[in-house]
Chain A
Amino acid sequence: MAALSKRIIRETERLVSDPVPGITAMPHEDNLRYFDVTIEGADQSPYEGGLFKLELFLPEDYPMVAPKVRFLTKIYHPNIDRLGRICLDTLKKNWTPAIQIRTLLLSIQSLLTSPNPDDPLANDVAECWKKDEAGAIQTAKEWTAKYAKKE
């Protein structure tokens, strides 16, 4: 495997020693570019009380290209599809090498508090969200209780 850049090593050390509140990220022992991530659903959001598992991979060209991230826990959200793929500008056109793993995970956490049904990835979810926001929020709460229960 290619040597890890100093930047990746530094970022990893800080993620582990000085974690962001509500977020954990641990590299796999056999692949230090591959992280197990958890994000707690924010208070006052439909995801409150949930613990969401994600996976994150730093491609060969990181930080010139964005990390790859997806949800492993099922989540009812207009910008996250059924396979856990995330629609977030920071991961695509707004990526810059100045963004770190921790900042990226923070933007994913805040996406959970502020869904954006006008730029959807999960079309069926986004439509429900626009037509019946209260109902959609209720479903999101139910899914959180069902799939994202803390162990």
Chain B
Amino acid sequence: MAAIPRSFKLLEELEKGEKGLGSESCSYGLADSDDITMTNWNATIIGPPHSAHENRIYSLSIECGESYPDKPPTVRFLSKINLPCVGTTGVVDPKKLKILNLWKRSYSMEVVLLELRKEMSAPANRKLSQPPEGSVY
């Protein structure tokens, strides 16, 4: 496979996000639409049904550094959440989320968001008591 450079990979992800071609349960876009480096992104995850997260919308920030997609992005919850892989400041601990720990270049921001959503609805996590809705770090 021809290794797609960072910028064209991010442009593909941006286009998918802009056109809404991806999953309906998450969204993502550039934090600054003028940022030619495409480093900082905003994202949302819609809480999965049948869990403590139902009807909640979580805001996140994603940073795709210079080594993305060779290295995974840094993901941070802006909305407060009680989830084992999320630290006290909202940062997702890469060691505790398999997809970040065993990152592959073919993955994307959307894959990470969907994996986090899956974590929210995992049997061990879905009943965890949650901070008040709307609270932020």
Contacts and interface: CB of A to CB of B under 8 A. Distances in A.
A59 B4 CA distance: 7
A40 B36 CA distance: 20
B7 interface: yes
A1 B3 CA distance: 7
A57 B4 contact: yes
Interface string A50-73: 000001011110000000101010
A34 B34 CA distance: 23
- Describe A's contact surface by its main secondary structure: loop
Interface in B1-58: 1-5, 7-8, 11, 14, 33-34, 36, 38
A51 to B, nearest CB: 16
B2 A58 contact: yes
- Describe B's contact surface by its main secondary structure: loop
Contact of A70 (B3, B11, B33): B11
Contacts of B34: 82
A2 B2 contact: yes
Contacts of A60: 1-2
B2 A72 contact: no
A121 B132 CA distance: 43
Contact of A59 (B2, B7, B14, B36): B2
Interface residues of B, number: 13
A83 B30 CA distance: 11
A33 interface: yes
B5 A57 contact: yes
Given A83-B11, A85-B11, A72 B36 contact: yes
Contacts of A33: 2-3
A74 B36 contact: yes
Nearest to A74: B36
Given A70-B7, A83-B11, A2 B1 contact: yes
A31 interface: yes
Contacts of B36: 72, 74, 82-84
A74 B3 CA distance: 26
Nearest to A59: B2
Given A70-B11, A85-B11, A55 B38 contact: no
A9 B11 CA distance: 26
Given A74-B36, A83-B36, A84-B36, A68 B2 contact: no
Ranked 5 nearest A-B pairs via Cβ: A60-B2, A68-B8, A33-B2, A34-B5, A57-B8
Interface of B: 1-5, 7-8, 11, 14, 33-34, 36, 38
Interface of A: 1-2, 31, 33-34, 55, 57-60, 68, 70, 72, 74, 82-85
